[in-house]
């Protein structure tokens, strides 16, 4: 099924008439993306549930593994507001979605709202690439990339596990760069009042637009893109999530409610 025409795009028949009878070169179906929706790389973003919960102060129990936040084109959002999320399109993926892409903040509510948000904000832009041009392809490829990276195992391989003791940012950077061969982007929560150290919250690993090859998230001299979202939560502050500074950081253990 062809996707709906992107918001702001002219219907095909209008474009054809506009180009004249001898210049009717508008080929195949599909969305007509505007220049404002162009992007250059994909960002697979994984977040650490205990830090997510610390930021929003709303979780009783937290997961003990890194989970998917989203697969984000770097410079585009909400490219097609008429292309609405349909849970039935990913019913074959639901088992893995619930495990690896959970709504950390609202685990007992309608978790599909999180996926809806990610599709409509980011998936409709990623769909410019044929390999991501449907919900099933977008979410399925995100899951595949997550499993290929296997971030949880990589950190454990280097002895990096949640602890009440502090790590150095270099511990994370060195481990990730040695395994993946690219420079990641690591984000932390700033210290709150009474604290003296930043808390790791999110790790971004980037891929090329075509071929899904790992690449550096930033290049020398490249400006960072527009501010990325932090957490999906009504009223959640995003001010504290910043690129980690060199120095110590806290990798908080998960919390479990005593039963």
- From the list 201, 84, 78, 96, the residue with the least C-alpha distance to 141 is 96
In the residue annotation, 122 being an active-site residue is answered as yes
Question: Residues 58-117: pLDDT tens digits?
Answer: 777 789 999 999 999 998 899 999 999 999 999 999 999 999 999 988 876 666 999 999
Cα–Cα dist 145/207, whole Å: 10
**Is the CATH number 3.40.710.10 carried by domain 38-250?**
no
Which CA distances in Å does 199 have to 75, 101, 112?
Answer: 26, 21, 28
Q: Tell me which of 69, 120, 135, 204 is the catalytic residue.
A: 69
In the residue annotation, 69 being an active-site residue is answered as yes
Question: Residues 219-259: pLDDT tens digits?
Answer: 665 554 434 444 443 334 445 679 999 999 999 999 875 44
Question: Residues 137-153: pLDDT tens digits?
Answer: 999 999 999 999 999 99
What's the pLDDT at 162?
97
What's the pLDDT at 257?
58
Every domain of the chain and the residues it spans:
1-32, 38-250
Q: Tell me which of 118, 120, 135, 204 is the catalytic residue.
A: 118
As a residue count, the chain comes to 259
């Amino acid at each position: 099924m062809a996707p709906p025409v992107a918001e702001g795009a002219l219907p095909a028949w209008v474009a054809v008439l506009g180009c004249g009878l001898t210049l009717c070169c508008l080929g195949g179906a599909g969305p007509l993306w505007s220049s404002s929706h162009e992007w250059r790389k994909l960002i697979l973003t994984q977040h650490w549930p205990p830090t997510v919960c610390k930021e929003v102060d709303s979780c009783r129990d937290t997961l003990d593994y890194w989970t998917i936040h989203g697969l984000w084109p770097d410079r585009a959002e909400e490219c097609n507001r008429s292309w609405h999320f349909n849970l039935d399109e990913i019913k074959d993926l639901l088992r893995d979605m619930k495990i690896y892409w959970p709504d950390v903040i609202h685990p007992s509510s309608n978790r599909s709202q999180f996926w809806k948000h990610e599709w409509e904000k980011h998936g409709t832009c990623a769909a410019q690439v044929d390999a991501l041009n449907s919900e099933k392809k977008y979410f399925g490829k995100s899951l595949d990339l997550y499993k290929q990276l296997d971030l949880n195992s990589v950190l454990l391989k280097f002895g990096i596990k949640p602890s009440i003791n502090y790590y150095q940012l270099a511990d994370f950077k060195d481990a990730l760069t040695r395994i993946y061969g690219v420079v990641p982007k690591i984000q932390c929560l700033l210290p709150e009042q009474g604290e003296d150290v930043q808390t790791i919250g999110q790790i971004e690993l980037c891929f090329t637009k075509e071929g899904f090859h790992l690449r550096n998230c930033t290049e020398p001299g490249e400006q960072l893109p527009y501010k990325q979202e932090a957490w999906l939560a009504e009223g959640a502050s995003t001010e504290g999530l910043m690129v980690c500074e060199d120095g110590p950081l806290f990798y908080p253990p998960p919390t479990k409610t005593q039963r």
